[in-house]
């Protein structure tokens, strides 16, 4: 709770009367990163811990790569607010066993993507929507 309050997000999280967040702890055991085989060193596996809640379970993620068209519609993208847009769960645990993911971090919001949109029907916030990018804005370079 202190971390959330320090970051100014405590009021947006659901806490029980004991001050504990209403989250469920989940684990991915025997985790080896995608570069484990290239390290050529004996390493112990990690255990990845992630938290879920009613809000994260209800949230959905749109990614550019999942919504790029192929075939006769190649080069077109189904935008988040358009019919036919593909939305997936925040935690895609099926990727742990589908044999398609080289990196088990793909469990988290589907892995690497250049553009994402998050949405939850049950999340409430008084704040305005926030836009974030992986690349800092040009104005940031001028500040340093």
Q: Which residues of the chain have pLDDT under 70?
A: 1, 3-4, 7-21, 123-144
| Three-class DSSP labels, the chain | CHHHHHCCCHHHCCECCCCCECCEEEEEEEECCCCHHHHCCCCCCEEEEEEECHHHHHCEEEECHHHECCHHHCCCECCCCCCCCCCEECECHHHHCCCCCCCHHHHECCCCCCCEEEECCCCCCCCCCCCCCCCCCHHHHHHC
Q: Quote the pLDDT of residue 109.
A: 86
Task: Give the pLDDT confidence of 1-21 residue by residue, as tens digits.
Answer: 676 677 666 666 655 555 555
Please report the pLDDT score of residue 99 as a whole number: 76
User: pTM for the complete prediction?
Assistant: 0.63
pLDDT score, position 143? 42
């Amino acid at each position: 709770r202190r971390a959330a309050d320090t970051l100014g997000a405590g009021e947006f999280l659901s806490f029980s009367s004991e001050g504990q967040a209403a989250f469920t702890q989940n684990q991915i055991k025997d985790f080896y990163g995608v570069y484990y085989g290239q390290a050529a060193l004996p390493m112990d596996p990690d255990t990845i811990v992630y938290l879920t809640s009613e809000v994260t379970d209800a949230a959905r993620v749109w990614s550019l790569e999942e919504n790029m068209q192929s075939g006769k519609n190649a080069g077109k993208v189904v935008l988040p607010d358009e019919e036919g847009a593909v939305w997936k769960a925040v935690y895609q645990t099926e990727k742990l066993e589908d044999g398609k993911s080289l990196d088990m971090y793909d469990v988290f919001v589907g892995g690497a993507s250049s553009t994402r949109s998050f949405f939850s029907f049950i999340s409430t916030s008084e704040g305005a929507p926030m836009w974030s990018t992986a690349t800092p804005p040009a104005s940031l370079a001028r500040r340093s």
